[in-house]
Structure 1
Amino acid sequence: MLSYSSYTLTAVAALLVTCHALNKCPGISELPDIPGRDVLKGLPQVPGLPVSLDTECHNHLVNLEHRLFQLEAVFALNGKIKEVGKKVFATNGKKVDFASALRSCEEAGGTLATPMNEEENKAIMDIVKQYKQYAYLGIKHCETSGQFMDITGRSLSYTKWHQHEPNGKGKEKCVEMYMDGSWNDKKCNLYRLTICEF
């Protein structure tokens, strides 16, 4: 079964191919409402295209939007995704080491889940609890500063360390989330649930 991000990427690719073939029809939300257009309300005709193709492009967009909504609903229902603000957290349900988890997320167009506030931490924790598996976070120990940072090298503005953590003294370079949502520094070669953010 394809992952949520695979479905999304496939859907977006199909949209881009369709719109490119139809001379790059614009996105629906960006279109002004121009009176006198002989097409669907709010959708001006694409210059150089007959109305029938313009309508066809619009119908493809509407169908694609509907399918994406259905897929999101299915994955949300199964606990595979959680939405918080503009972020989507998703899992493929696989347990792998840190490097493999990061690679899987990046190949899907995201990165490892890195909570930036309590709400995001809770969304990730909900997935961890459902799968009853600890998960790696997109946080690593920085050799030069001796501090933990997100995987892009930014300082952490939010943390939720478990009591007496981190305690690895530089030997535990990755961070896992417990089922209660608290964090622990851990070695990077253990198998933990993959949770990505998009």
Structure 2
Amino acid sequence: MLSYSSYILIALAALSVTCHALSKCPGASGLPGIPGRDGLKGLPDSLATKYHNALANLERRLFRLEAVLVLNGKIRKVGEKVFASNGKRVDFASALQSCEEVGGTLAAPTNEEENKAIMDIVKQHNQYAYLGIRKGEASGQFTYINGTPLKYINWHQHEPNGKGREKCVEMYTDGTWNDKKCNMNRLTICKF
């Protein structure tokens, strides 16, 4: 059974996807991510107004819930990205699967601010966490899970040092990174 926080995170992810899709509607105006009346052409005025108001109300309510989760330390928000943990320690494949099942991916910092947000969760749980970074089979270089080159690195001194045997990356409680075998149990932190 999912926790209340998990349901909120799923709702936030769904809203984010919905708002992103709606913001691409031709003629969209109004609240960010919510189409204005121009974006609802073809609907009767009363229905367009009702639809617009319902979406605006939903966005305000989810914004308040997100603020509560941030205040209570349940999530960390950096720009449009949200980082959260279910508190479970699992191997890399299981951590990635857990994140993908709820519409996210394994957290991987692309800058210092994101690294700090992930580190805050690592410190809160006092457990090392896997990052969404792996050693590429073809290149032998570490890349994000989607295969793109790293934009930001924060390796611990003398790391990576696995000489090809350590293909995953974990974050220490000080925010630095270490290459690690993928079968160890580490904290799951997802990015939405």
Question: So what's the TM-score if we normalise by structure 2?
Answer: 0.80
* SS state at 1:158 partner: coil
Which amino acid counterpart does residue 147 of structure 1 have in structure 2? Answer: Q
| Residue 142 (structure 1) aligned with residue 136 (structure 2) | yes
Q: Compared with structure 1, are the counterparts of its residues 75 and 27 closer, same or farther at alpha carbon in structure 2 (3 Å cutoff)? A: farther
RMSD: 2.8
Report the Cα offset of residue 65 of structure 1.
0.9
Q: Compared with structure 1, are the counterparts of its residues 128 and 29 closer, same or farther at alpha carbon in structure 2 (3 Å cutoff)? A: same
Mapped partners of 2:40, 2:139: distance in 1: 54
* SS state at 1:29 partner: coil
Q: Name the residue aligned to 1:29.
A: 31
Q: Name the residue aligned to 1:22.
A: none
* SS state at 1:28 partner: coil
How high is the sequence identity, in percent, across the aligned residues?
64
Q: Compared with structure 1, are the counterparts of its residues 13 and 169 closer, same or farther at alpha carbon in structure 2 (3 Å cutoff)? A: closer
Farther-moved stretch of structure 1 (98-107 vs 74-83): 74-83
| Residue 78 (structure 1) aligned with residue 72 (structure 2) | yes
Cα deviation code 1:76-96 (max 9, x no counterpart): 122222121232222222221
* SS state at 2:31 partner: helix
Which one has the largest radius of gyration? 1
Q: Compared with structure 1, are the counterparts of its residues 128 and 45 closer, same or farther at alpha carbon in structure 2 (3 Å cutoff)? A: closer
Mapped partners of 2:12, 2:130: distance in 1: 23
Cα deviation code 1:107-144 (max 9, x no counterpart): 22221111111111111111111111111001111233
Mapped partners of 2:70, 2:91: distance in 1: 25
Q: Compared with structure 1, are the counterparts of its residues 153 and 47 closer, same or farther at alpha carbon in structure 2 (3 Å cutoff)? A: closer
Question: So what's the TM-score if we normalise by structure 1?
Answer: 0.78
Within the candidate set 132, 146, 170, 1:152 is matched to 146
Equivalence map 1:124-143=2 (5 Å): 124-143=118-137
Mapped partners of 2:86, 2:121: distance in 1: 11
Cα deviation code 1:29-48 (max 9, x no counterpart): 379xxxxxxxxxx6459445
| Residue 168 (structure 1) aligned with residue 162 (structure 2) | yes
Report the Cα offset of residue 69 of structure 1.
0.9
Cα deviation code 1:154-187 (max 9, x no counterpart): 2223111111111111111110001100001111
